[in-house]
Amino acid sequence: MDPDVINLLYIVAFILFISGLAQLRNPTSAVRGNRTAAVGMAIAVVATLLRDETGDWALIALGIVIGTVIGVPAARNVKMTAMPQMVALFNGVGGGAIALIAWVEFRDRGGDLTELETGIPLVFAAIIGSISFWGSNVAFGKLQELISGRPMKIPGGVFINGGLLAIAVAAGVAICAGSESQGLFIVLLVAAGLLGILAVLPIGGADMPVVISTLNAFTGLSAAAAGVALDNTALIVAGMLVGASGTILTDQMAKAMNRSIASVLLGGFGGAAPEVGGAGGADDGRIVRSTSAADAAIQLAYARKVVVVPGYGMAVAQAQHAVREMAKALENRGVEVSYAIHPVAGRMPGHMNVLLAEADVPYDQLKEMDDANPEFSRTDVSLVIGANDVTNPDARAKADSPIYGMPILNVDESRSVIVLKRSMSSGFAGIDNPLFYNEKTAMLFGDAKSSVSEITGELGEL
Amino acid sequence: MDIVTELAIVVLAGFVGFLVISKVPNTLHTPLMSGTNAIHGIVLLGGLILIGEATGFLNDLLLVIAIAFGTINVVGGFLVTDRMLEMFKGRKREKAEES
């Protein structure tokens, strides 16, 4: 096929990518936007296959079939609660593909990358791709709780990471300067991979969305770099679109959590959190009041206004449908029910909205933080279901708390609070929550789903 | 292609990316991240281009893995985003009128 036709098809794909992204900004057009971008991708793939140079059809088919057989069921069957780690995994394989492509291009050229306009972007793509692959896998492991989600402190971590980056860059420079050693290229990939692992490992699970979003932008940039090396405009444009929009998205997410990107990536909650989290002794002398489902039901039934504060615990227990049932029972009794959604409730901004939408919660009952906070002083009962750090008053009051300054839901301003929780263990950020010791607070221990169902049952008997 | 032309494309595409995602409601952060994530699956094209040129078992093996990875990224990414967004459908009218 004429290369001009292929490039024209690429241009059609760009238009679809850009308009798809623009539509993704708005809730009503987002579904269409995603599909528009997907059509753009299909066109770009077909255009590439139409190139005269395309060969090895059997191997292409093999790769695409393997990818489809793995990717489709994974995307279809993943639970909505596990969505963040799925995105991390998809991002990781993208980065891995770039690193592998860069490696093959290096081998294909017999190791000669002295042509700098190819060599530099290729080395860049290999380093970032490898960081993204391994870093995303660690992020997946943390969110899936295969690796502890707690922040870990690696002694001298900054120096180790700096050293690894220096090794990867030095190897890259040597390769561009004329070294044709494949061993050196492998050193580059391994050093970058270790850097990805060690950079993500110390970061606490609560910061993981920012990490995934950063790695997402990285993968985009390395795709663009690979595009420069391979002289392919589709890779350049799509890669840069993701690199740029991913950077903005990372920034907005970090702002929603009141964290700077730098402080997340340079150790995050790591510094102070472990000592605070481990300070079980500090709980002495403070009283935790526990309640029963029957008492909670009475309290809720005679309230005028109830605000549900859902957190990741609700999502893990798959309690969203049970919560919806309970809310219906309360509404039938004339209680006003709404949901206060913290920007980072769940494990990613917007995650909780997805989960509640799945349970058919009417959209107008979902209140974002800024709308929800003024309402708490008029609320009779706040029902905190599996949320912890986002309700922690320390974020407002205690300057030495690791989450100090994070915007929170002012649950403690409501007349009474019922907290549904499995145990007294601390939240994802690994810190203590004084809300639980507040005299207005009653704790209902147990699995969120069964607790909520019990409350609904008790409501029926009142 | 000329390296300067390519850099021009890099810069312009970057600006478009910045502008197109200027302000997104928190609600859509997760789907948007997932959607952009699917788009960088475009690296699949790199595998498709190289596999015709490269020879030898190891090169072919690496590229088949790269193509499979890229396909997972694209297909999985778009599907998972679609599933997320489907849940918002029909319940977002108020929100849309607001913005």
Q: pLDDT by residue (tens digit) across B12-56?
A: 999 999 888 877 777 788 888 899 999 999 999 999 999 988 889
Cβ atoms of A405 and A258 closer than 8 Å: yes
Predicted confidence (pLDDT) per residue in B51-88, tens digit: 988 889 999 999 999 999 999 999 999 999 999 888 77
For residue A421, the surrounding DSSP H or E stretch is strand A416-421
Of B14, B80, B83, the CB nearest to A243: B14
B21 in A contact zone (CB under 8 Å): yes
Cβ atoms of A433 and A394 closer than 8 Å: yes
Positive or negative, the CA dihedral A190, A192, A197, A202 is positive
CATH architecture of A285-461: 3-Layer(aba) Sandwich (3.40)
Question: How many distinct structural domains can be found in chain B?
Answer: 1
Q: What pLDDT does A370 receive?
A: 86
Q: What angle do CA A226, A228, A233 make, to 5 degrees?
A: 100
Ranges of residues in chain A with a pLDDT under 70 are 257-259, 266-285, 347, 425-430
Q: Which residues of A touch B85 (CB under 8 A)?
A: 30-31, 34
Confirm whether B34 is domain-assigned.
yes
Q: Please, where are the H alpha helices in A28-115?
A: 30-49, 57-77, 83-108
Q: What pLDDT does B44 receive?
A: 96
Residue A339: strand, helix, or coil: strand
Q: What angle do CA B16, B21, B27 make, to 5 degrees?
A: 165
Of A44, A56, A236, the CB nearest to B10: A236
Confirm whether B13 is domain-assigned.
no
B61 in A contact zone (CB under 8 Å): no
Domain span holding position B71: 25-98
Q: What pLDDT does A429 receive?
A: 62
Q: What pLDDT does B89 receive?
A: 64
Answer whether B38 sits within 8 Å of A240, measured CB to CB.
no
Confirm whether B29 is domain-assigned.
yes
Closest alpha carbon to B95 in B20, B21, B25, B31? B25
A267: left (phi over 0), alpha (psi -120 to 50) or beta: left
Q: What pLDDT does A426 receive?
A: 65
Q: What pLDDT does A147 receive?
A: 83
Tokens for A292, please give them: 């029963």
Chain A, residues 297-316, CB within 8 A of chain B, namely none
Chain A, residues 117-156, CB within 8 A of chain B, namely 117
pLDDT band at B96 (very low <50, low <70, confident <90, very high): very low
Contacts of A437 (CB under 8 A, 6+ apart): A283, A286, A287, A288
Among the options A389, A394, A412, A432, which is catalytic?
A389
ipTM of the assembly? Answer: 0.89
Active site residue A389: yes
Which of B15, B18, B30 to probe by mutation at the A interface, max A CB count within 10 Å? B30
Q: Please, where are the H alpha helices in A201-346?
A: 208-230, 233-256, 261-265, 273-278, 293-301, 312-316, 320-332
Other Cβ atoms within 10 Å of A178 Cβ, number: 11
Positive or negative, the CA dihedral A31, B81, B31, B66 is negative
